[in-house]
Amino acid sequence: MGLGQGDGLLAGKVAVVTGGANGIGRACCERFAEEGADVVVADILDERGIDTIAAVEKKGRRAAYVHADASSPTDNETVMQHAVDLFGGIDVLVTAAGIATADYRGDRPEASARRAARHAREQPDAMRRFSDLRLSDWQKVLDVNLTGTMLSVQAAARAMLDLGRRGSIITIASIAAKHPAAGAPAYSVSKAGVWMLTKYAARVLGPAGIRVNAIGPGFIETNMGEMIRGLPDLEERLLADVPLGRMGTAREVADAALFLAGQQSSYFTGEMLHPDGGFYTD
Ligand SMILES: NC(=O)c1ccc[n+]([C@@H]2O[C@H](COP(=O)([O-])OP(=O)(O)OC[C@H]3O[C@@H](n4cnc5c(N)ncnc54)[C@H](O)[C@@H]3O)[C@@H](O)[C@H]2O)c1
């Protein structure tokens, strides 16, 4: 039977991370492993997902990769079932799977950034970008970011309730959840939905001892962060609103997730932490 429980803030715990192949999700996988957790990595980018597993195993913990589309109910069920079958349960869920726009590709950040820059040049008018937004583009972002989060939270909650685990669920929202100037329309609305979902789930799951919190990161250096860099003047404009004057790292977000995952946050639920360099100071 695998490794011993070892030391660390998450010793003996099992974590599931959607979107665990890259960026914030991957940083959570690695940070949690450093603190003693075994990890199930769910994503649609298989090569990168398998790479994350290797990184977790290097830290001495067990890991499994499951190809899973966050917007699929059955894929989410399969992910949680893997955690139960392979590692005996699920204690922590992080929902990091997400897209910035309908055509965002996590494995092609440069191409996504170039496309975003072209859209911005062709359609510099924010009013038009809003009024002409295609239904299919809106739907895709909502499907992955909001419905995907709902399905992962539901599937994890079911497993935690069945097993009687007092788990911790962490959704990844954004500063865009509360501020219309921090993201594109569908993205911002999807993240606002994630925030309400988080509060809702916290209320209904609290009596079972399951905590549900959100993280609302600011501008973070990941593949998605590359999009910001690609947009003309946007990096400077956005950083003008960040007192610390720089983008954050995925590890800085993972540290917030670690706090929410473990016992140090035992009286937190229905809360959103903002690793954002001070964006919310006004
Ligand atoms: N980078 C930022 O500045 C920033 C800021 C605030 C919030 N966020 C949020 O953090 C989360 C992680 O983003 P990131 O910055 O690490 O970007 P990223 O592109 O590096 O990682 C996102 C991951 O989600 C995966 N993914 C995308 N669609 C999926 C789907 N349908 N099913 C399963 N996996 C899917 C991608 O393959 C990728 O591995 C996202 O929800 C994003 O909205 C990012």
Which atom of ligand 1 is nearest to 24's Cα? 16
> What distances in angstroms separate CA 35 from CA 5, 208, 248, one per listed residue?
10, 25, 21
106 lines ligand 1 (CB under 6 A): yes
Residue nearest to atom 19 of ligand 1 (CA): 106
**Is 104 an annotated catalytic residue?**
no
pLDDT at 21 over 70: yes
Two tokens, residue 48: 């990168």
234 lines ligand 1 (CB under 6 A): no
Two tokens, residue 137: 């583009």
- Secondary element (H or E) of residue 53: helix 46-58
- Give the confidence band of 237 by pLDDT, cuts at 50, 70, 90: confident
Average pLDDT over residues 219-236: 81
Separation between Cα atoms, residue 45 and residue 226, nearest integer Å: 18
Separation between Cα atoms, residue 153 and residue 159, nearest integer Å: 10
- Give the confidence band of 11 by pLDDT, cuts at 50, 70, 90: very high
Q: Which domains does the chain have, with CATH numbers?
A: 14-273 (3.40.50.720)
